[in-house]
Amino acid sequence: MAIPIFYAPPENRSGDKIALSPAEAHHAVAVMRLKEGSRVMVVDGCGMAARGEIIAATKSRVEIVSHADIRNFGEPSVRLTLAAGLSVGEKFDTVVEKGTELGVRRFVPIISEKSKVKLVEPAKAAARRTRLEKVALAAMKQCRRSYRPDIATPLTLRLFLDETDREDLNLAFLPVEKAQSLDLLKAHAGVSRVNLLVGPESGFSEEETDYILKAGFVPISLGPRILRTETAGPVVTALVMDRLGELK
Ligand code: SAM
């Protein structure tokens, strides 16, 4: 059985000792019935994992000693940003959950002309971001990686294209005639940083599509069937990760 995994941010660590939060401690002791001497892993959300054992356990306090620290535990070697149309309801939660499991490093919610979601007031935007961070944290633990993906503040498509650095590969998934297939990745085996761009429910407008292409993104087709935006984000991530050798 896999060693149970917990989350504790870097500030919970002092030397080789790590304290779990009360919620994580409760889960460890009351739900998982772990005790002093139980072997555990602790990930810090910043790419570091500690393999160790519990040295003190009550229902509200668990202390762990690290026997071995592992940098980039569970992390892919490619750094992938997924910029995807922000959808109504909880569809973007699905994109973040599945994308985290597949190794996305950064999510950028995109607001475009045809987005059903408009730039919301700051308090609502902050609440949404907090919810997405929780989704990413739970998925990080579940899939046993050590980096909690960043969730960017929602950006308009133009701001994203104007202000985001181009990476080694910049792919926009567009159901347009001149789009290429993902076979182009055969020529890019060693890339280390990738931007993927996926549209919202109603897709990008013609002007936006032109802007995306002028901004240096390569148009990619996924074939004749049109995927829902919350399907497209995880699917393109899986396909790209697989073709870059990250799902072996
Ligand atoms: N009617 C919209 C259009 O023509 O763009 C459909 C949008 S689709 C529901 C949402 C997004 O998923 C698209 O903007 C695109 O980024 C991506 N997508 C879905 N199916 C695709 C396909 N077959 N090829 C390329 N991208 C696709």
The predicted-structure confidence for 114-164, as pLDDT tens digits, reads as follows 877 766 677 888 888 999 999 999 999 999 999 999 999 889 999 999 999
> Ligand 1 centre from 167 Cα, in Å?
22
Question: Strands 39-43 and 17-19: what pairing?
Answer: unpaired
**Contacts of residue 83, Cβ cutoff 8 Å, sequence gap at least 6:** 107, 108, 110, 155, 160, 164, 195, 196, 197, 198
State whether 93 and 62 are in the same domain: no
The reply to whether 105 falls in a domain is yes
Distance of CA 2 to the CA centre of its chain: 22
Tokens (6 digits) for 136: 């990413």
Probe target for ligand 1 pocket from 173, 195, 220, 235, with the most ligand atoms within 8 Å of CB: 173
Among candidate residues 33, 49, 71, the one where a domain is terminated = 71
Q: Are residues 99 and 168 in the same domain?
A: yes
Taking CA 123 as the corner, what is the angle to CA 110 and CA 140, rounded to the nearest 5 degrees? 60
- In terms of pLDDT, which residue wins out, 232 or 120? 232
Q: What is the pLDDT of residue 115?
A: 78
27 and 107 within one domain: no
Share of the chain above pLDDT 90, in %: 83
Instruction: Give the integer Cα–Cα distance in Å for 65 and 127.
Output: 35
Mean pLDDT, residues 222-236 taken together: 96
Residues 25 and 110 in one domain: no
| Centre of ligand 1 from the C-alpha of residue 28, in Å | 43
Confidence of residue 83 (pLDDT cuts 50, 70, 90): very high
11, 2 contact by CB (below 8 A): no
| 59 and 91 co-located in one domain | no
From 177, 209, 227, the mutation candidate for ligand 1 (largest count of ligand atoms within 8 A of CB) is: 227
Query: In this structure, is residue 207 part of a structural domain?
Result: yes
- Specify the CATH number for the domain of residue 91: 3.40.1280.10
The Cα–Cα gap between 18 and 86 comes to 37
Around 187, how many Cα atoms within 13 Å sit in the side-chain half-sphere?
5
The structure tokens listed for 144 are 């046993």
Return the pLDDT at 151: 96
Residue 35 sits in the same domain as residue 90? no
Q: Whose CA is closest to atom 7 on ligand 1?
A: 203
Is 190 a domain residue?
Answer: yes
User: Which is nearest to 221 in space by CA: 161, 168, 169, 178?
Assistant: 178
Which residues lie with the beta carbon below 6 Å from any ligand 1 atom? 173-175, 198-199, 201-204, 221-223, 225-229, 232
DSSP states along 119-157: ---HHHHHHHHHHHHHHHHHHHHHHT-SBPPEEPPPEEH
Centre of ligand 1 to C-alpha 227, Å, is 6
Residue 134 within a domain: yes
Q: What is the CATH number of the domain that holds 40?
A: 2.40.240.20
Q: Which residue minimizes the CA distance to atom 22 of ligand 1?
A: 222
The residue segments making up the domain with residue 28 are: 5-71
Which atom of ligand 1 sits closest to the CA of residue 233?
Answer: 12
Q: Nearest C-alpha to atom 11 of ligand 1 is from which residue?
A: 199
Same domain, residue pair 86 and 37: no
Same domain, 106 and 175: yes
In a domain, 231, yes or no: yes
Give residue for tokens 């989350």.
7
Q: Which helix (H) or strand (E) holds 92?
A: helix 91-102
Q: Which of 38, 71, 104 is the last residue of a domain?
A: 71
- pLDDT tens digits along 18-73: 999 999 999 999 999 999 999 999 999 999 999 999 999 988 899 999 999 999 99
* Domain shared by 171 and 234, yes or no: yes
Domain count, the chain: 2
Same domain? 31 vs 63: yes
- pLDDT tens, 171-193? 999 988 889 999 999 998 889 99
pLDDT of residue 120: 62
Tokens of 148: 């909690």
Residue 85 sits in the same domain as residue 143:
yes
**Are residues 86 and 65 part of one domain?**
no
Contact present, 117 and 111 (Cβ < 8 Å)? yes
Out of 71, 100, 123, pick the residue that ends a domain: 71
Residue 53 lies in a domain: yes
Distances (CA, A) of 57 to 2, 14, 16: 20, 17, 17
Selection from 112, 94, 45, 69 nearest residue 233 by Cα: 94
Write the single-letter amino acid at 36: E
- Indicate whether 248 belongs to any domain: no
